[in-house]
Structure 1
């Protein structure tokens, strides 16, 4: 199974696979959430109550998404964060499904549906990234990736 890669506007590789390849790689729940823009029921997915220190990566491509020090209990039943590991980790799309206007969040590397972002989070950003646990893998003790623009 070989990944097909194209370039994004910022020059980073974009991971593309066939539906069959995604189905082979992912569990049925992961496929439903990430490739079919599904949503797990609240308080049922992994990580909504995870208190361990580490990093949350995209379940499809392994791209780092969020750090545990930006996770908070929003009481909504999904893992919630106030900031991504870096602005390029995710991309936002307008979502007009289900008779609502929301902002959908996708992995910028592989286009996996992750969840939605709302403007009712804590400081310093005021944002609540409400993510599906099945869209992420937790890396215990994982570190934040170096910022390529900071010269680290």
Structure 2
């Protein structure tokens, strides 16, 4: 089948999560500095069988696009040029950062560990991917 890779895009850091080859389990992959993201994705897709990108779509409570959507659209254009063979789907990512933080609390992480923004981004990407997988089953 191939892996699905989720992207929680941020202007500084971007959280990444990936499925197993059977697309059953979503796992955090890493957090990458956004300036290095396209190079990382290109290298990763050369070594792993990625069949789809799932990119978080931040929305306001009234369902309009958030301010960060401008940056995400720019990134999506660059991604389509660098890796045109892998399709992209968007997933509503409202509340994923709050859910990621709560997941860290529920998991017993200490306050110092919960301040790790890179970990929050990676967990957010995992939640986006899990949401996508749940919507498909």
Larger radius of gyration: 1
Structure scoring higher RCO (CA < 8 A, sep ≥ 6) equals: 2
Give TM class, smaller chain: under 0.3
When the two structures are superposed, what TM-score results if normalisation uses the length of structure 2? 0.26
| Structure in which a larger fraction of residues adopt strand | 1
